[in-house]
Chains A and B, each alone.
Chain A
Amino acid sequence: MPSLNDYLVLSAILFSIGTAGVFIRRNVITILLSIEIMLNAVNLSFVAFGREQGTVDGQIIVFFVMTVAAAEAAVGLAIVIALFRQRESLNPDMFTSLKW
């Protein structure tokens, strides 16, 4: 029977992988995928904590996180499509109009 610590360590590992992906990759779609990995890592720790407390609140928060993730994916991918139409590229280094 795995303990709470096992789930939390797994969640930390997955979150680190997602963070590394956001910083290392230079493809907007892969960066969005890394954000999904991070959201899933957090979901796992929510469910594990809810299981440990013996309540359903953790699972309900996961439900809301998934809704927000769906909204984020829809808007983010719409932005990616608009950017690709403008610049013909998915490299975030190409999108520097807001930098100075």
Chain B
Amino acid sequence: MISFYVLATIAVLASLLVIAQRNPIYSVLLLIASFGALSGLYVLLDAPFVAVIQIIIYAGAIMVLFLFVVMLLNAPHEETEHDLRVHPLLRRGPMGFGVVLALVLIAELGLGLAAGSESALPARSISSVQAIGRSLFTEYALAFEVTSLLILVAMVGAVVLARREPR
């Protein structure tokens, strides 16, 4: 229970700092910390496979890609001096709408937590990598193959988009 609260606090604080930072490099590094905490939560949920691929794929591949692009573009700070619009936090209509949405979310969470019984998680769970692999290659085989097609399309798309225009 203690470890859950520690990891949850780290995840929430790091995510808040991600959207509070002005320098995208710090945002990316803090998001990696948040992903590490989430990986610990997956371990608590008896999902070691997800915890490991969270570290390898998210923190290892996707975030490195982000970091690479941030450093490549070399534009660390948000330009605020010549903005076309008022900052979103200072505009009254959208702020009011956002506050209403946040209040609705809090009310729904409160109602749901008050109505629903505290359902404890079952003590034992089947979450071995063997079970995941068997399910992935039998029941979800088609989705798995379509995923490879998706990655191919994304790869071609990224190359085409980032290519310099021939002059």
Could you tell me which A residues sit within 8 Å of B by CB distance? 1-7, 9-10, 12-14, 16-18, 20-21, 23-27, 29-30, 32-34, 36-37, 40, 43-44, 47-48, 50-52, 54-57, 59-60, 62-64, 66-75, 77-82, 84-85, 89-91, 93-94
Contacts and interface: CB of A to CB of B under 8 A. Distances in A.
Specify the main secondary structure of chain A where it touches its partner: helix
Contacts of A7: 41, 45
A23 B155 CA distance: 28
Contacts of B120: 1, 3-4
B90 to A, nearest CB: 11
A29 B24 contact: yes
Complex A-B, nearest 8 residue pairs according to Cβ-Cβ distance, in ascending order? A21-B19, A71-B154, A78-B161, A78-B158, A78-B162, A2-B4, A74-B158, A17-B15
18 contacts: A2-B44, A5-B116, A17-B16, A18-B19, A24-B19, A25-B78, A33-B28, A34-B19, A37-B15, A40-B58, A52-B122, A56-B135, A57-B135, A59-B132, A60-B136, A77-B69, A77-B158, A79-B161
A48 to B, nearest CB: 6
Specify the main secondary structure of chain B where it touches its partner: helix
B150 A80 contact: no
